[in-house]
């Protein structure tokens, strides 16, 4: 049991950290995740790079390797060349006030966008999609499995054959087919991932309820005349949800992987909105020259999947009476 608690604690702590980073993306992000500071000079800056940012009067910015205040404005070195930025082009009358030091801890992508900012906002998108889609799959699975286990042999057979037919196709294959048919948005993607991921939950909840129906406390409730709906919601469902919760925790990581796969194929959340999947897709053709663009979101996906699997395994072992 100690090992099971450690799994739960490690998975929960890692997941809590990821959720806190995603929730604080607005404050923790050093830059706008969509608009680049400088699409030319900021392109493919390596992790740990630093630049001087010059604010211009039209609201745009320039990145320079160095900048020096002169009588007529600013003398900057940009892309290996020296040039003068006139005082009239700056955002302030004081040239020094238009300068700001910028650092890029995780580098930038091909458009000059800060990878750390996109990683944090991508965590918000990917975790939200994974959690809400898993909740939808849980609801549909409990609904179908509960009806199948309590509505009689004919309905049970019909629903289970439908479930088996859907389970015969890989989850990713069904998701790709549906995503290709619709104009994908956050809502549509959640409906696709949740609506195609309930089959395992339905089979599990059905098996649990069928087993619980033969237990003494359920037979006793039926013998004293308790209504079927009361038996279901008061005795069957609460006891059947114990293993389902652990299974759902495992499924969240798998759903995030499917979402990342769809985004990698261009069928996920439309760009430029950041998700870990489309960040990997945008950096996949520059792995030898700009490895950081795809590597950091890939590591984030791996850590998220590991955290959910640790949490799910720990919960399953702790909640299973046979392991005590």
**Do 104 and 47 form a contact (C-beta atoms < 8 A)?**
yes
**Do 49 and 58 form a contact (C-beta atoms < 8 A)?**
no
Q: Which residues contact 223 (CB under 8 A, 6 or more apart)?
A: none
The mean per-residue pLDDT over the stretch 241-259 comes to 85
C-alpha distances (whole Å) from 131 to each of 134, 191, 244 are 5, 12, 15
Closest CA to 70 of 93, 51, 86: 86
- Whether the per-residue pLDDT at 19 is higher than 60: the answer is yes
How many CB atoms lie under 10 A from the CB of residue 93? 9
Mean pLDDT score across all residues of the chain:
87
Number of H helices, E strands in the chain: 12, 6
pLDDT at 186: 86
pLDDT at 319: 64
**Do 112 and 43 form a contact (C-beta atoms < 8 A)?**
yes
Name the CATH architecture for the domain at 115-323. Orthogonal Bundle (1.10)
User: Where in the chain do CATH 1.10.3720.10 domains reside?
Assistant: 115-323
- Whether the per-residue pLDDT at 3 is higher than 70: the answer is no
The mean per-residue pLDDT over the stretch 103-125 comes to 93
Distance of alpha carbon 260 from alpha carbon 255, whole angstroms: 9
pLDDT at 60: 86
pLDDT in tens, 60-99: 888 999 898 888 888 999 988 898 988 888 888 888 888 9
**Do 147 and 205 form a contact (C-beta atoms < 8 A)?**
no
- Whether the per-residue pLDDT at 320 is higher than 70: the answer is no
Give the distance from CA 234 to its chain's centroid.
34
**Do 304 and 5 form a contact (C-beta atoms < 8 A)?**
no
pLDDT at 137: 93
pLDDT at 193: 92
User: Where in the chain do CATH 2.30.30 domains reside?
Assistant: 49-104
Q: Which residues contact 75 (CB under 8 A, 6 or more apart)?
A: 67, 68, 69, 82, 83, 84, 85
Phi, psi of 92 (to 5 degrees): -130, 160
C-alpha distances (whole Å) from 153 to each of 150, 268, 307 are 9, 39, 39
pLDDT at 243: 82
Q: Which residues contact 69 (CB under 8 A, 6 or more apart)?
A: 75, 95, 96
pLDDT at 321: 53
**Highest mean pLDDT of the ranges 47-51, 208-212, 264-268, 287-291:** 47-51
The mean per-residue pLDDT over the stretch 285-311 comes to 89
Tell me what percent of the residues of the chain surpass a pLDDT of 90: 32
* pTM of the shown model: 0.84
Distance of alpha carbon 114 from alpha carbon 108, whole angstroms: 5
C-alpha distances (whole Å) from 109 to each of 51, 212, 293 are 15, 55, 6
pLDDT at 115: 94
Phi, psi of 150 (to 5 degrees): -120, -10
C-alpha distances (whole Å) from 150 to each of 153, 206, 234, 242, 300 are 9, 9, 14, 19, 42
pLDDT at 94: 85
Q: Is 216 exposed, middle or buried (0-12, 13-18, 19+ CB in 10 A)?
A: exposed
The mean per-residue pLDDT over the stretch 124-138 comes to 91
pLDDT in tens, 160-193: 999 999 888 888 888 898 888 888 888 899 999 9
pLDDT at 268: 84
The mean per-residue pLDDT over the stretch 40-49 comes to 91
Closest CA to 259 of 171, 141, 142, 146: 171
pLDDT at 140: 94
Looking at the domain that runs over 49-104, which CATH code has it been given?
A: 2.30.30
With bands split at pLDDT 50, 70 and 90, how would you rate the model's confidence at 298? very high
Phi-psi domain of 316 (left: phi exceeds 0; alpha: psi -120 through 50; beta: other): alpha
pLDDT at 2: 56
Is 209 or 250 the better-scoring residue by pLDDT?
209
């Amino acid at each position: 049991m100690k090992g099971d608690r450690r799994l739960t604690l490690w998975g929960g702590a890692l997941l809590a950290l990821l959720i806190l980073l995603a929730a604080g993306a607005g404050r923790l992000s050093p830059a706008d995740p969509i608009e680049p500071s400088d699409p030319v000079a900021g392109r493919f800056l390596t992790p740990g790079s630093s630049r001087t940012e010059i604010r211009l009067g039209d609201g745009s910015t320039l990145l320079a390797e160095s900048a020096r205040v002169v009588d007529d404005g600013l003398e900057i070195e940009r892309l290996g060349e020296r040039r003068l930025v006139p005082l009239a082009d700056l955002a302030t009358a004081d040239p020094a006030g238009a300068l700001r030091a910028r650092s890029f801890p995780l580098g930038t992508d091909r458009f000059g966008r800060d990878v750390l900012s996109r990683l944090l906002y991508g965590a918000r998108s990917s975790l939200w999609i994974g959690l809400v889609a898993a909740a939808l799959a849980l609801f549909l699975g409990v609904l179908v499995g509960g009806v199948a286990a309590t509505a009689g042999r004919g309905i049970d057979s019909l629903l289970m054959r439908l479930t088996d037919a859907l389970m015969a196709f890989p989850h990713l294959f069904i998701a790709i087919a549906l995503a290709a048919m619709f104009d994908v948005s956050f809502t549509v993607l959640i409906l696709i991932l949740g609506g195609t991921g309930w089959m395992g939950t339905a089979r599990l909840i059905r098996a649990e309820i069928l087993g619980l129906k033969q237990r003494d406390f359920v037979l006793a409730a039926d013998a004293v005349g308790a209504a079927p709906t009361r038996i279901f919601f008061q005795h069957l469902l609460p006891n059947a949800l114990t293993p389902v919760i652990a299974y759902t925790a495992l499924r969240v990581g798998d759903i995030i992987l499917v979402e990342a796969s769809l985004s990698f194929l261009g069928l996920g959340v439309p760009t430029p909105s950041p998700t870990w999947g489309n960040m990997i897709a945008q950096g996949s053709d520059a792995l030898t020259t700009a490895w950081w663009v795809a590597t950091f979101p890939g590591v984030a996906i791996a850590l998220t999947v590991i955290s959910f699997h640790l949490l799910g395994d720990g919960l399953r072992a702790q909640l299973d009476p046979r392991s005590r």
